[in-house]
Structure formats: structure tokens, C-alpha cells
Amino acid sequence: MSFDDRVIWVDALAFDRVAHRPDPADASVLRAALKRYRGHFLEGESAPWALVFRERLRARNLKMTEALGSRLERGGDWSGAVECYLGALEVEPVAETLYRRLMLAHAQAGQKAEALRVYQRCRDSLHTHLLVDPTEETQALYRALSGR
């Protein structure tokens, strides 16, 4: 079964379609795709087909976020990188790698206090959702930024 996309628009399928464009490293393509990712596909549904599709979309969202964030960082667009990582963390609150990238982007933008607050948010989120502490890598970054 398939949908006629001229009649029915499905955000998950639109995201998936944009994510498969020929040049996923193009910042405009990445931004367009990331704007379409509005949360986890059919969250709460436990059917195997939904779980597989949800995880595929989730992984693509994280990969594209990291790609866009890296591109923005390389260009020195720290506020753009911050916005990129914050958007992804809204739907993926336990993506520790994105917290580290966000901490670094804030630090590079001269917002050291905000970078340290991001660590607290990361620690709280990981503890709330997974009952774990941040990895040593994240803790080391926090110590380096805080001068401890």
C-alpha cells in the first residue's frame, strides 16, 4: 500500500523523502528535512513495523543534526549550531553527544555560563530518563569549561 502524496501529506514520509535527496550534506536540504522532523514516529505504538520505521527516522534525524551542526561549526556560525542542537534535543532529550556539541558551541560563542547550564540539563535529563550519569567524556568537558 502506498499513499498518493498529491492527496495525502504525511510528515514522516516527507522527512524521509527529503533525507534521501542526492546531496544530504547541503545545508538547505538538511534544514528542510530537520524542520519536518516533529517527533518520534507514532510514539507509543509497539508494532514491529512502527518500531523499525521510528528508529530509522530517529537515527536519520540525529545524523542530519550532527551533519548540519558540524557544517555550521566549521563556518563559525555558533548561534546557528546552538539552534540546531537545541531543536534536536527537544525531541531527543538523551542524545548526550548533542549536549556536548551544544556545550562547545556555547563556549565558542563566548557563553560559558550557558555551556555549564547545558551540562546540568544533560545530567538531569539522563538521570530522569535513563537513571545514568553523563559519560566521562561529557564530565571531562564540563570540568574543562568550568576550570575544575
C-alpha separations of 146 from 71, 103, 105, 142, 143 in Å: 26, 11, 15, 6, 5
Give dist(CA 132, CA 128) in Å, integer.
8
- The per-residue pLDDT for 51 is 80
Question: In this model, does residue 1 exceed pLDDT 60?
Answer: no
Other CB atoms within a 10 A radius of the CB of residue 128 amount to 10
In angstroms, how far is the first alpha carbon of the chain from the final one?
58
Give dist(CA 60, CA 82) in Å, integer.
19
Query: pTM value?
Result: 0.81
The predicted-structure confidence for 51-98, as pLDDT tens digits, reads as follows 887 888 888 889 889 989 999 999 999 999 999 999 999 989 999 999
The predicted-structure confidence for 4-39, as pLDDT tens digits, reads as follows 656 655 556 666 666 666 555 677 778 877 887 777
- The per-residue pLDDT for 133 is 97
